[in-house]
Amino acid sequence: MGIWDYISDLLEQSGKSFDQIKTNLASQMAYRTGNKFNFPKARRDESTTCTTFGVQVEDAYRYLEDADGEETKKFVEAQNALSDPFIKDCPYRQPIITRLKSLFEYPRYSCPFKKGNNYFMQINSGLQNQYVYYIMRGSLDAKPEVFLDPNTLSSDGTVSLSSYANEFSKDGKWYAYGLNMSGSDWISIKIKNVDTGNDLPEEITKLKFSSISWTHDNQGFFYAAYSSMGDGTETTECTFEKLYYHRIGTPQSKDVMVYERPDDPHYRFTTSISHCGRYLHVYSNKTCEYNLFHYYQFDDPLNPNITGILKLEPVVEELNADYYYVTNDGPIHYVRTNYKAPNYRLTVIDLTDSNTRQVDNWKDLINEHPKDVLQGCYAAREDLLITKFIRDVTHRIEIHRLSDGSLIRELNLPVGAIVGLSAERNQDELFYGLTSFLIPGVIFYLKLDQDLKNEPVVFKESKPANFDHTNFVTKQIFYPSKDGTNIPMFLVHHKDFVQDGLNPCMLYSYGGFNISVMPSFSLQRIILMENLGGVFALANIRGGGEYGERWHNGGKLENKQTCFDDFISAGEYLVRERYTSSNKLIIQGGSNGGLLVGAVTNQRPDLFGASIAHVGVMDLLRFHKFTIGHAWMSEYGNPEVEKDFRNLIRLSPLHNVPDPNSIDRFPAILLLTGDHDDRVVPLHSLKLIAQLQYKLGDKFGETPIMARIDTKSGHGAGKPTEKIIEEVADIYGFIINALSLNFKQST
């Protein structure tokens, strides 16, 4: 192709002017010399070392841990000055943005629920940055009215509703809602009068990951908070959370501290109020698994009279399993647990009986299933239990009798995942949402009639106008991992896909924290399958919760390498079966999945063409020192314990960048993070990109080894639609340029 043909093609595809073309060429000259990238030269402080258990550990970029340091700010600017023009230079970036906007332009719904006399649901009309809360007053058939629109709270959509601290009062007249700013985990709570729509004057701050539990007098709620609050760019450790009670109409300074654990700085608290209102349940944990279980009994639920420290009664005082309250009949409590049940079971305890209160004496109402994981239990219609199981990475729903746990029926569901389920002990309605790789979203409604013969009906369905699901196919396969274990993997691609090894493939996984990655719909994958002719692969590797606690334990702590082996084996399978080739195999993951991508890229750089790591945990020797990182020691181990340290130093992406003389190629890599990510703080990605460019930049100077650091952006939750579209377009721009992929225009 001649230069003028090339420029003509650029103009046609992206709508750029000649001036813009010249600007791009000038920027190329700045970030490249010939075919080699001009990687930023970060200062190395080789005097920053420490000796741990006899091992000398170099930490030459520790100064990048200071988010406010001038060197850090200049380093971030230099990284964006490298990656931004490379990404923006992709001639198909603007067509991708245009296509994404057309795909997003359809209404999407959350699962409705009823509080008091009113129904509520969230709706995004299409390109709104945040979902809008609607109220249907008095009836499900009532015209939806805007109840709370987060889009009005900021000009750029970076104020979002918290996914944690949101709860209506028992009578449905008050709504306490948490707000996150710029993607930070910090939460500020406001309280809205449901009838008038007006907010009370008080604001409650200093929360992270807190629940909200209203007392049944509808005059106040419990929440957990820290002693101070940052803006989301700080890295200081979060310690000594306390449990408070807030009475509406009063300032936060008047809130009553009801529980604390001054003996241990890492305890965090969540709560629930029993359906009868008489019991407060307090769950205490220090990590991301296992919790203590205490309760407090109010003399009068309608007059709780909370004035000081509550004397909690113990139910479970050992961190040995997960315990979740489901419902109760007076002192008889129903608790979902994985104590001596890796796939979970539903148990019955009597709080008034000291013998049956002993966890080893709890009786099963629903036994542990030999294969399926009991992921959730919900009380309904006074006498029913709705249960949600995972079977081979797809959800199923059963209805049981509360009196004896007997199975009444199983609902007939398409293959997919339940996203949202609402049921209440005193209501005879069930809502649940379902999605899958080719199902954008369907909300089902089921009237729980007396004989339970009704069938679910579609309440709302999301249908993108510019997407025909019949053009695509999905299937689940099982492939052998390094140790012979069969690992499930979903494959999604166009129906005309040819298995010849010539197409790109994006392999995604998570593999940690007992989290199950279920089938879900994603508009961004359509670009991969439709425009790039690629295949999407989801590997449900060990470390997740897809097959219960055994699956989780098989990929954590000393078994963490098993996660990486499972993922590498997935890549080998995809290449072996000619879904793709190694130079077109793209791997992607976020958070713990970002760690996964970083680790396997170091271990098998020959297997991958491009690595995309979002907000990854990259320094496994210091992760526990920042914000909430100490909570992950149950998953990774404690770097200050010798056995764990010796395991972590073998796995840590930062400490295992390969010697350039030992490898023949290294994949293109893009690390993504946000300046307000106060969960996996940006320093992880900053230190790793500096180390990658230092060690590999000379030999692999033509390989894009880059970072994209976004502003007013956090770990991912609440990210506005506009930012999502920009980020997806940037990722595809990076991949297309790095791998020289062909782009087919949408018809």
Burial 143-155 (b: 16+ CB within 10 A, else e): ebeebbebbebbe
pLDDT at 696 over 80: yes
Selection from 711, 739, 392, 731 nearest residue 589 by Cα: 731
The rounded percent of the chain whose pLDDT value lies above 90 is 92
> What mean pLDDT comes out for the span 37-50?
96
Amino acid at 370: P
Q: Residue 3: is its pLDDT beyond 80?
A: no
Q: What is the pLDDT, as a whole number, of residue 556?
A: 98
Phi and psi, residue 552, nearest 5°: -65, -50
Tell me whether residue 591 is one of the annotated catalytic residues: yes
> Annotated catalytic residue: which of 184, 591, 611, 713?
591
Q: Is 677 a catalytic residue?
A: yes
Query: Which tokens is 309 given?
Result: 């420290």
Residue of 185, 677, 678, 730 marked catalytic = 677
Task: Parse the chain into domains and list their residue ranges.
Answer: 158-320, 476-739
- Strands 242-247 and 220-225, bridge-based pairing: antiparallel
Q: Which CATH class is domain 476-739?
A: alpha beta
Pick one of 2.130.10.120, 3.30.360.10, 1.10.10.60, 3.40.710.10 as the CATH number of 158-320. Answer: 2.130.10.120
| Average pLDDT value for the chain | 95
715 included as an active-site residue: yes
pLDDT tier for residue 90 given thresholds of 50, 70 and 90: very high
Q: Would the pLDDT of 19 be above 60?
A: no
Q: Is the separation of the CB atoms in 593 and 617 below 8 Å?
A: no
8 A C-beta contact, residue 613 and residue 629: no
Asked whether this chain's domains 158-320 and 476-739 adopt the same fold, the reply is no
Catalytic residue among 246, 614, 655, 715: 715
Angstrom CA distances, 611 to 533, 601, 607, 670, 673, stand at 19, 7, 10, 6, 14
Q: Please give the pLDDT value at position 17.
A: 55
pLDDT of 25 strictly over 60: no
pLDDT at 529: 98
- In the three-class reduction of DSSP (H, G, I as helix; E, B as strand; rest coil), residue 561 is classed as helix
> Comparing C-alpha atoms, which of 369, 364, 459 is closest to residue 410?
369
Distances (CA, A) of 427 to 116, 382, 384, 401: 11, 8, 10, 15
Sign of CA pseudo-dihedral 10, 14, 19, 22? negative
The full length of the chain comes to 747
Asked if the model's pLDDT at residue 18 lies above 80, the reply is: no
